[in-house]
Structure formats: C-alpha cells, structure tokens
Structure 1
Amino acid sequence: MVLLHTTVADAADAERLADRLIESRLAACVHVETISSTYRWQGRIERAREWRLSAKTSAARLDEAADLLRREHPYELPAIWTTPVVWAEPAYADWVAAESQAQA
C-alpha cells in the first residue's frame, strides 16, 4: 500500500481528481483536506489555501495513478509525491489492494 499525494487550489479540482482516481480504480480511498501552504514560486514567497489529496493505492497501480494526476492536474508544476506505508492492518491493506485493481 502506498499513499499518493498532491495539492490543488480549489475544492472542485480536489473532488474531480479524487473521483477520477476512484472511478478508474486507481485508488481505494482519497482523503481531501484543506491546508495552508507557504512556498517560493518564481522568486516570490507565496501563501495559499490549498486542498491536499492523499490517495490510498497499491504499489502495482502507483505509476498509473501518478500518470492520471499529471495529465489532469490544473497546476503548471504539480506537487505529486508518495509516502510508503510501513505497516497497515492486514485486512485493510487487502481491501486497498482489491479496490485499486484493474477491472477484469
């Protein structure tokens, strides 16, 4: 199991990307939460409210899920990163694997 993360500027984009990941069976679950970001962009310090998506997916579907985010992300340079899951409740990890499998 892997957590795949990205951020977007508005709730509509967050919901759209979350829906696409779930509909495509590239993630079993996507958490969406509002955050406050401070970063340097094109030489200036920026502050923004963003929505962070954390998608629970299988290692086998990670590349496809990341590709979907790259294709459909509204940012010029999207932040897309992973967090490995060191341990998860086995039954829950099995559910994530089953839900993030390609349809037969």
Structure 2
Amino acid sequence: MAGIVIAQTTVDDEQKAYDLARAAVEARLAAGVQIDARMTSFYWWKDAVQHEREYRLSFKTTVEKAAELEAWVHERHPYEVPQWIVLPAGGSSEEYLAWVVKETSTQ
C-alpha cells in the first residue's frame, strides 16, 4: 500500500491559502489540507533578511501524488521561489492511510 507525506508551503495572503487548499482537494491531489494560523517568517531574500506574515499549508497526500501536487502548486503559487517541503508521515494508521489513498484517487 502507498505511503503518506505531508507537503508544506506558505503564502502571504489568507484568501490565496484558502483557494489553494480547496482547489488541491477538489483536484484530488490532496486528501486534506490544513492552514495554520498566521505566523511571522524570517528568511534571506535578495541579499537581505526579510520578514513576512504568512499562512502555512500542510497537504496530506500520497508518495505517488507528491510530485504532481508540487507541480500543480508551483503553477498557482504567488512566490517566485515557493517553499516546498515534503515530510514522511510515518506511523499513520492503516485506516487513515486508506482514506488518503482513496481521496487522492481519480478513479
């Protein structure tokens, strides 16, 4: 059976976060997406330390769908270089794994 990953990105606009989350689920690229409350991020960009208020999106998907989800998100992402981090979701219950696989299936 497939494995689960959590793929994360950030955006600086709440509506854009909602739109990406909903559309990824509707496209069956993610079984679910969580949007974390607004946070402050500090990072290097264009030779200076920047800071921005952002929302983190955590997409629950399968290992097999991760690359397709990445390409899909990057096509729609407002940032020049979007954050994209994929974390293994070890220890998931068989029931949850089965749900993620079912909800990301296009059949």
* Aligned partner letter, 1:10: D
Superposed CA offset, 1:30-74 (max 9, x none): 000122101111011111110000000011111111111110000
Secondary structure, aligned partner of 2:105: coil
Segments of structure 2 that go 5 or more residues without pairing to the other structure are none
Of 67, 70, 73, which aligns to 1:66? 70
Percent identity reads 34
Report the Cα offset of residue 89 of structure 1: 1.5
Secondary structure, aligned partner of 1:48: strand
2:51 maps to 1:83: no
Secondary structure, aligned partner of 2:50: strand
**1:1-104 superposed matches below 5 A:** 1-33=4-36, 34-102=38-106, 104=107
RMSD across aligned positions (CA): 0.9
Query: TM-score if structure 2 supplies the norm length?
Result: 0.92
> How many matched pairs?
103
Query: TM-score if structure 1 supplies the norm length?
Result: 0.94
Structure 1 ranges of 4+ moved more than 6 A: none
